[in-house]
Structure 1
Amino acid sequence: MSRVVFLLIPQVHLLDVAGPAQVFSTANDLGWPYTPAYVAEAGEVATVQGLPLQAEITWPPLTPDDLIIVPGWRGPTRPAGKQTLRRLREHHESGGTVASVCAGADALGRAGLLDGRRCTTHHTVQDELARLYPQAKVVKDALYVEDDRVVTSAGVASGIDVALHLVTTRHGPYTAGQVARALLVHTHRDGTAEQISPMVRWRSHVDETVHRIQDLIETRFTERLPLSLLAEATGCSERTVTRLFTRATGLTPLAYQTALRLERAEHLLGRGATAEVAAREVGFEDTRMLRRLRARTVPPADR
């Protein structure tokens, strides 16, 4: 059981709250337990859209598996109090993830969580964020950016994208795909070039046979999956599987599986796993293959 704590600031945008909340609620319905909590510095929080929200003024106990999300608000900066900012810092320092939607990045900046990290926000306030926090590395015109468990997004509908990204990193692309389909989100959207997910990039087609193949690969990407198994699962010949998959995605099934393995390995390495552990967890026989793949795709500064 994980908590998703929404820190509500006065004049918060409803969609910035409701979009991510719906993603985690749907994940809960699918068997991944999440408990929402809404906290603020006052018991009632005004929204831009006129519907007031009720919140707790006492924070629940948190573990590193829990998430804090700061939705965006309209108007002049409304700084959170020192105690609230301390909560954000302490959660991150303990190993937890802190995310923001739109102007919520300002609260992360005031907590010192943007210094030296890549981040983003809504395009109308990107320059202001860079001015306020000169030590931050503001990525312009990105939907979302993750850097060392600090996740920022552009706002509005991109709050759904960043929540789906968090579900992907925690539970894998198949689960995120189930959530997206339940929400009638036709296509995942890319975050930034540095954070592109294979499922995001190669799920925009409409070939249902290829979607079924991708579902199978995503649920069993750590296993050896011969072409004959994919053909049997879809009722196609091996040649047809390769032809359809390559036409829809630009990749062979094996290349797609390798991309999933590499993405998961990068996540494990970012959480402190050794190369040996990461390679074993994603299905590589040893670390040499992982190192060769990372040498081709990961900038030297990030290896």
Structure 2
Amino acid sequence: MTHVVFFLVPGVHVLDLAGPAQVFSTAAEFGHPYTLAYVAEQPQIPTAQGVPLVAALDWPELGPDDLIVVPGWRARTLAESPAVADASLRVLRDHHAGGGTVASVCAGAEVLGRAGLLDGRRCTTHHDVQDELALRHPRATVVRDVLFTADDRVITSAGIASGIDLALHLVATRHGPAAAARVARDMVVYARRNGHAQQSSAMFRHRSHLDDTVHRAQDIIDADFDRPLPLSALASAVGVSERTLTRLFGRATGLTPLRYQQTLRLERAQHLISQGTTVEAAARSVGFQDARMLRRLRTRTP
């Protein structure tokens, strides 16, 4: 069971907290082993939106697979941010030193900075306070105009709703892009990745549409992309004709169902090859009978 612990400070933004919490809660509903906890330095936390929150005062026992998230809060400047006790900062440092992951949303990066976890690492925060974060923590490298950054198990995200992107990235990293795409679809949000780079998986790139028939077809392909999937069976499974499915799929994604499946196979094979797998073994692993088709697809891809 993976603990996701949200460390709350007074004035916390509800969406900074609720967005990532919803991602991990939805992932848990789909069978991924997450349990959520909320810790603060006082039992009741006022939020920026006026909704009071109740939190535990004691931290659960944490291991390397667990995650601590610091949501942001309302303050005109980072210098005016709420005080955080040394004991809490020590928990963050010790968790990361023990192999765990720490993350922040929006102004929450300031707490990671106070804990020394931004030193020598890339990070980001809300655009209104990026310059101040850089001044307050000169050993950090503040990256502008991105949704989030990930550097040595320190994950930081930009303003407010970008916490959803951060959480989807972590779900994708741990459970694969298909799991993150399923969570995003259930939450009715776009499955996005870093703002400065192309989304690295077709399961993300081709999900930013609202056609439910195509999403259902993609769910099937995502789950079984390494197996033969005749167009007739795929169309029957989603309740339309082959011609209709091809038309809808092309309009929503710019690809045919077969080309989408091949793209997933190619990306998975490329990953395996980068990890040391031979081309032949990678080809078989993703469903090709031999390496010839994989080599042709790799040649076509820029």
TM over 0.5: yes
Q: Structure 2 CA distance, aligned partners of 1:195 and 1:85?
A: 34
Instruction: Report the residue type matching 1:180 in the other structure.
Output: A
Report the counterpart of residue 192 of structure 1 in structure 2: 195
Higher mean C-alpha displacement, 29-38 vs 98-107: 29-38
Residues 1:181 and 2:185 are matched in the alignment? yes
Instruction: Report the residue type matching 2:190 in the other structure.
Output: T
Report the counterpart of residue 24 of structure 1 in structure 2: 24
Higher mean C-alpha displacement, 192-201 vs 19-28: 192-201
Q: Is the 8 A contact 2:127 2:159 kept in 1?
A: no
2:82 pairs, out of 74, 78, 81, with: 78
Q: Is the 8 A contact 1:218 1:260 kept in 2?
A: no
Percent sequence identity over matched residues?
A: 56
Shift of 1:262: 6.4
2:134 pairs, out of 130, 136, 147, with: 130
Paired residue secondary structure (1:85): helix
Gaps of at least 5 residues in structure 2 are none
Report the counterpart of residue 283 of structure 1 in structure 2: 285
Cα distance, 1:248–1:95 mapped onto 2, change above 3 Å: same
Paired residue secondary structure (1:69): strand
Q: Structure 2 CA distance, aligned partners of 1:92 and 1:124?
A: 27
Paired residue secondary structure (2:5): strand
Relative to the length of structure 2, the TM-score reads 0.78
Higher mean C-alpha displacement, 3-12 vs 20-29: 20-29
Report the counterpart of residue 301 of structure 1 in structure 2: none
Paired residue secondary structure (1:65): coil
Shift of 1:155: 2.6
Q: Structure 2 CA distance, aligned partners of 1:120 and 1:77?
A: 17
Q: Structure 2 CA distance, aligned partners of 1:232 and 1:275?
A: 35
Residues 1:42 and 2:36 are matched in the alignment? no
Residues 1:119 and 2:120 are matched in the alignment? no
Paired positions, count: 282
Residues 1:52 and 2:52 are matched in the alignment? yes
Shift of 1:255: 4.6
Q: Structure 1 CA distance, aligned partners of 2:122 and 2:154?
A: 9
Instruction: Report the residue type matching 1:33 in the other structure.
Output: P
Report the counterpart of residue 155 of structure 1 in structure 2: 159
Residues 1:232 and 2:233 are matched in the alignment? yes
Gaps of at least 5 residues in structure 1 are 298-303
Q: Which has the larger radius of gyration?
A: 2
Higher mean C-alpha displacement, 193-202 vs 154-163: 193-202
Report the counterpart of residue 300 of structure 1 in structure 2: none
Q: Structure 1 CA distance, aligned partners of 2:120 and 2:166?
A: 21
Q: Structure 2 CA distance, aligned partners of 1:11 and 1:67?
A: 22
Q: Structure 1 CA distance, aligned partners of 2:272 and 2:144?
A: 27
2:220 pairs, out of 202, 216, 222, with: 216
Cα distance, 1:39–1:258 mapped onto 2, change above 3 Å: same
Residues 1:8 and 2:5 are matched in the alignment? no
Q: Is the 8 A contact 1:245 1:253 kept in 2?
A: no
Shift of 1:60: 0.6
Q: Structure 2 CA distance, aligned partners of 1:188 and 1:137?
A: 26
Give a deviation string over 1:152-208, Cα, whole Å, max 9, x none.
Answer: 11132222222222222222233223322332x242233233472423322113444
Q: Structure 1 CA distance, aligned partners of 2:151 and 2:269?
A: 17
1:109 pairs, out of 89, 100, 113, with: 113
Higher mean C-alpha displacement, 107-116 vs 249-258: 249-258
Cα distance, 1:124–1:259 mapped onto 2, change above 3 Å: farther
Paired residue secondary structure (2:51): coil
Shift of 1:77: 2.4
Shift of 1:41: 1.7
Give a deviation string over 1:100-132, Cα, whole Å, max 9, x none.
Answer: 110001111222222232221111111111222
Give a deviation string over 1:64-109, Cα, whole Å, max 9, x none.
Answer: 1111100001121234222212211222222222111100011112
Cα distance, 1:140–1:59 mapped onto 2, change above 3 Å: same
Instruction: Report the residue type matching 1:50 in the other structure.
Output: G
Q: Structure 2 CA distance, aligned partners of 1:74 and 1:259?
A: 45
2:96 pairs, out of 89, 92, 97, with: 92
Higher mean C-alpha displacement, 190-199 vs 160-169: 190-199
